[in-house]
Amino acid sequence: MRQHWDKMPYTKRSDGRKMDELRPIRAEVGIVPNADGSALFASGKTVAIAAVYGPKPLHPAHMQKPDRGIIRCEYNMLPFSVGERARPGPSRRSKEISMITSNALSSVVELTRFPGTVIDVQIMILQADAGTRCAGINAAAMALAHAGVVMKEMISSVSIGKIDDKIVTDITKEEEDYSEGEGPTDIPFTMTSRKKDIVHLQLDGNIPVKRFKEAVEASKIACDKILDYQVRALKGEKIDEDKWKWNCL
């Protein structure tokens, strides 16, 4: 059993960031010429690209919704995106992430404008260092806007952690694996740009209600910062805060 003198308080982040600091961001649209809309969103070593195709007629026709379109989302990790080869093809995890991404996007896209159609959203994780579902959602929302799909609001996503007793923004895999003190809790949030409605929330770990409220506040601040990157990229800026690492992509 762990004794109190074993506890290692998490006073400094392993990569030297402030508790509320995002990783270096890379954001860009128009990276897949064949797609109707596309985007790259990277946070540190987590890199996601998204490509949007549609709206287009949905086949087989019996799956069409007469009053609205649907979003069909597919999230995948490249085999070389993680240290130990990720098995290609759908898994329970990738199906779950595809579903939560599709739900989050469907809550802001004006689907009633596209009855009988489907919008395909393909998300590929090129490299993973935690927070891939959030990076994927950020890239997908940018790709939809880049495709000119009408949206009520933009959405932005970030993973807030409670590592030991500290609320931290945009956690890495190393932080997710921190096992000292109170251990790790991972809370991915996705929220809308204006109303700050939470359209996706997951909780992996334990957190008291009071600390959870702090996490919500941290997520609002972080999502506002991410929104700024998304909007700047949509205006044509190529954002790369981590040039020396990513000049190959």
Comparing every residue's Cβ against ligand CDP, the nearest one is 132
Question: Which window, 7-15, 115-123, 130-138, 233-241, contacts ligand CDP (CB under 6 A)?
Answer: 130-138
- Would you count residue 201 as binding ligand CDP (CB under 6 A)? no
Strands 70-77 and 117-127: parallel
Nearest to 124 by CA among 12, 249, 239: 249
Between 182 and 186, CB nearer to ligand CDP? 186
Within 10 angstroms of residue 241's Cβ, the number of other Cβ atoms is 16
Show contacts with ligand CDP in window 141-160 (CB under 6 A). Answer: 159
d(CA 144, CA 137): 10
- Would you count residue 173 as binding ligand CDP (CB under 6 A)? yes
- Would you count residue 194 as binding ligand CDP (CB under 6 A)? no
Burial 206-238 (b: 16+ CB within 10 A, else e): ebeeebbeebbebbbebbebbbebbbebbeeee
3-class SS at 228? helix
Within 10 angstroms of residue 164's Cβ, the number of other Cβ atoms is 20
Between 58 and 81, CB nearer to ligand CDP? 81
Task: Pick from 78, 82, 126, 231 the residue near ligand CDP by CB under 6 A.
Answer: 82
- Would you count residue 166 as binding ligand CDP (CB under 6 A)? no
- Residues of this chain that bind ligand CDP (CB under 6 A): 82, 86, 93, 128-133, 159, 173, 176, 186
